[in-house]
Chain A
């Protein structure tokens, strides 16, 4: 069953601005992952944050995790036109063998 849902569904910003996307999920998780997808392409893994971590950085990306609120955020600082893509959070399913389940994504448009 799908767990994560991203907010907003779409976001348009100017180059150089920061972009923040949020993800909410329903049940307890071991970890939460963020992926990026360029139009018509496969998904690329960005960052994984474990349930005992509150914040993680990777280059211009900053991810936070609040397990008490069952939510996560992805911040992209100093955005570039090349950051234009869809961004998905993914969590292990709450049943079975824990395959990843994805939300419907945030479509980010960075205007040059």
Chain B
């Protein structure tokens, strides 16, 4: 296993379009996280899964955002009706349990024009 992978690496979309990102965590990791990062800032927590259950969502996650992790494996993050303010790097991370190190993917850079 080569680590956490995210697809696509870059996405340019027009305002109002829907986009979907995919994250493949390290195979035995039961916890999966999505973060958003804007230039010069640290990652901001969006949502978290333990296996297939979405256990926590940030207030940052408006109703235009939805995330799934079917069968507790890969995860998708969908943004509907994108806005320019959604432009950011979307990072996925996974870990084996609580209070341990998290492994991050390379991120998906979204640009909304």
Q: Which residue of B is nearest A98, CB measured?
A: B98
Chain A: interface size category: 20 to 34
- A22 → B minimal CB distance (Å): 15
Q: Please, which residues of chain A bring their CB within 8 A of the CB of B48?
A: 97, 99
B104 and A44 contacting across the interface, CB-CB below 8 Å: yes
> What residues on B are CB-neighbors of A104 within 8 Å?
40-42
How far does the Cβ of A14 sit from chain B's closest Cβ, in whole Å? 24
Number of A-B residue pairs having CB atoms within 8 Å of each other in the complex: 61
Asked, given contacts A31-B99, A48-B101, A96-B56, whether A43 binds B91 with beta carbons under 8 Å apart, the answer is yes
Select B104's contact among A30, A43, A92, A101, beta carbons within 8 Å.
A43
Interface size class of B (residues with CB under 8 A): 20 to 34
The answer to the question of A93 belonging to the interface, with a C-beta cut-off of 8 Å to chain B, is: yes
Check A103–B56 contact: CB distance below 8 A. Answer: no
Which residues of B are interface residues toward A (Cβ below 8 A)?
Answer: 4, 33, 35, 40-45, 48, 50, 55-56, 89, 91, 93, 98-107, 109
A interface list, Cβ under 8 A from B = 2, 30-31, 33, 35, 40-45, 48, 88, 90, 92-93, 96-105
